[in-house]
Amino acid sequence: MAQRLTGADGVSKKTSRVRVAVRLRPYMSRQDEKEEGPCVRGLDSQNLEIINWRNATETVKYHFDVFHGEQTTQQEVFLSSVKPILPHILNGQNASVFAYGPTGAGKTHTMLGTGEQPGVIPRAVREVFNLVSAKDEDEGWDYSIGMSYLEIYNEKVLDLLSPNSQDLPIRENKDKNILIPGLTYTVFSSFSDFDKHFIPATLNRTTASTKLNQRSSRSHAILLIKVVRTQRALPHRQQTGKLYLVDLAGSEDNRRTGNQGIRLKESGAINLSLFTLSKVVDALNSGTAARIPYRDSKLTRLLQDSLGGSAHSVMITNIAPEYRYYFDTFSALNFAAKSKLIVNKPFTRETVLLIFPPAPVKRSREEHEAGGSG
Ligand code: ADP
Ligand code: MG
């Protein structure tokens, strides 16, 4: 994951690429009033294709570090994209996992999940506890695990563990660690202890979101899990590892939906953070930018010490297969991909039927007129 790069000044610096996974959620017929079927599909564990809107006889193919198809379980997403980075936070290193994509494509499902299908957050917290309890006493470190939970809304930093909090400042200390003075930090001793703090805060956010017109799709929800380890013997060395688990604001282009006034201002702010994130990820992955523009938005400023550098980062881009998401899917894929390939290969119904479960109502007119052979 880490690569050595030589900057313009000829000095070699260690940077870490952001691993990019794409997750396609299952097709939902209630999201597809015109019954057009899916417009995007997986090819294998790293590739997918989408119909080319300029020419429907072509598809555009994308390649990613990982492609998670619609059948992928929460457990599989966790095992392949998140679990491998967790050991690092017990050694004082930082990591971040974020879910990107349009509203309705599965970001919250991926990060939070449900009681029956828990997502990345509960699985990661459990795993961090497992890793800590599996540590050998003889290594001589004591571990403590804690959390902060915040939201960036309209470029304001709000504490989700402390209702009615005001916009909090983001600071950097002399060791280049990013901190937020005044942000609630809660130490917890077990998974159920974590849940006791996390669930009410999440519910608060959800309730507020229905009242405030889908605020949750316009804000970035950021859970910070910190592992602090202290050496039992003198000189009691201490190391802190941070893990950011981020459910990003929807990546849809709000200009198209005709938002006015306050909504437009919100959209602009969201675009600023997401736009800056895309520039940061781009600069990190291309390795050519002399300066990474972390300071240009609150989100990237906050993630500065946990995205790039020696940190371990994974971006899960969530996409939906229905046509109504088409342009947002395209722009999410272009954000996530460094390379794409236009292939002259029609996205035919026949091929779709081989991959998706046959749905008689979606057969083409020709088939009906021919009496339907299958
Ligand atoms: P977002 O947070 O990106 O707006 P959600 O996570 O709320 O999207 O997902 C939208 C809807 O799709 C929800 O009803 C969710 O339960 C469902 N969904 C998303 N991803 C999956 C999946 N992989 N499997 C089953 N249902 C999913
Ligand atoms: Mg959501």
Q: From CA 328, how far away is CA 63, in angstroms rounded? A: 18
**How many angstroms separate the alpha carbon of residue 6 from the centre of ligand 2?**
39
Query: Would you put residue 23 in left (φ > 0), alpha (ψ -120 to 50) or beta?
Result: beta
Q: How far apart are CA 90 and CA 132, in angstroms?
A: 7
How many Cβ atoms sit within 10 Å of the Cβ of residue 74? 18
Q: CB within 8 A of 203, min separation 6: which ones?
A: none
Q: Quick one: pLDDT band at residue 286, thresholds 50, 70, 90?
A: confident
The runs of H, that is alpha helices, within the chain are: 74-77, 107-111, 120-133, 191-211, 215-218, 261-286, 298-302, 326-336, 349-355, 365-369
Q: Is 7 helix (H, G, I), strand (E, B) or coil?
A: coil
Q: What is the pLDDT of residue 363?
A: 42
Which of 133, 74, 39 has its CA nearest to residue 347? 39
Write the residue with the smallest CA distance to atom 11 of ligand 1: 104
Global model pTM greater than 0.90: no
Q: What is the largest CA-CA distance in the chain?
A: 83
Least-confidence region, from 90-94, 301-305, 311-315, 339-343: 339-343
Of the listed ranges 1-10, 75-84, 189-198, the one predicted with least confidence:
1-10
Ligand 2: distance of its center to the CA of 332 in Å? 15
Angle, helix 120-133 to helix 191-211, in steps of 10 degrees: 160
* Percent of the chain scoring above 90 in pLDDT: 56
Q: Please give the pLDDT value at position 141.
A: 94
- 217 CA to centre of ligand 1 in angstroms: 13
CA atoms within 13 A on the CB side of 260: 0
Residue reference for tokens 């828990």: 118
- The pLDDT, as a whole number, for residue 202 is 87
From 22, 24, 25, the mutation candidate for ligand 1 (largest count of ligand atoms within 8 A of CB) is 25
CB atoms within 10 A of CB 106: 22
Q: Is the CB of 219 under 6 A from ligand 1?
A: no
- For residue 352, pLDDT beyond 90: no
b/e per residue, 83-105, with b = 16+ CB within 10 A? Answer: bebbebbbeebbbbbbbbbbbbb
pLDDT at position 228 over 90: yes
In the reported structure, the alpha carbon of residue 318 is separated from the centroid of ligand 1 by a whole-number distance in angstroms of 9
Question: Over the range 27-57, which residues count as b (16 or more CB within 10 Å of their CB) and which as e?
Answer: beeeebeeeebbbbbbeeeeebbbbbeeeee
Give the whole-angstrom CA distance, residue 308 versus residue 283: 10
| Cβ–ligand 1 contact at 318 (below 6 Å) | yes
In the block, residue with structure tokens 């050519």: 288
- Is the C-beta atom of 317 inside 6 A of ligand 1? no
Backbone angles phi, psi at 204, to 5 degrees: -55, -45
8 Å CB contact between 329 and 319: yes
**pLDDT tens string 27-86:** 998 888 888 889 999 999 999 999 988 888 899 999 999 999 999 999 999 999 999 999
Note the pLDDT of residue 17.
79
Our measurement of the distance from residue 340's CA atom to the centroid of its chain's CA atoms, rounded to an integer in Å, reads 21
Q: Which atom of ligand 1 is nearest to the CA of 102?
A: 3
Which of 81-95, 163-177, 206-220, 330-344 has maximum average pLDDT? 81-95
pLDDT for 351 beyond 70: no
The DSSP bridge partners found for residue 239 are 229
How far is the first Cα of the chain from the last one, in angstroms, to the nearest whole number? 48
Nearest to 170 by CA among 160, 158, 162, 178: 178
Expressed in angstroms and rounded, the spacing between residue 277 Cα and the centre of ligand 2 is 18
| Residue indicated by tokens 């989700």 | 160
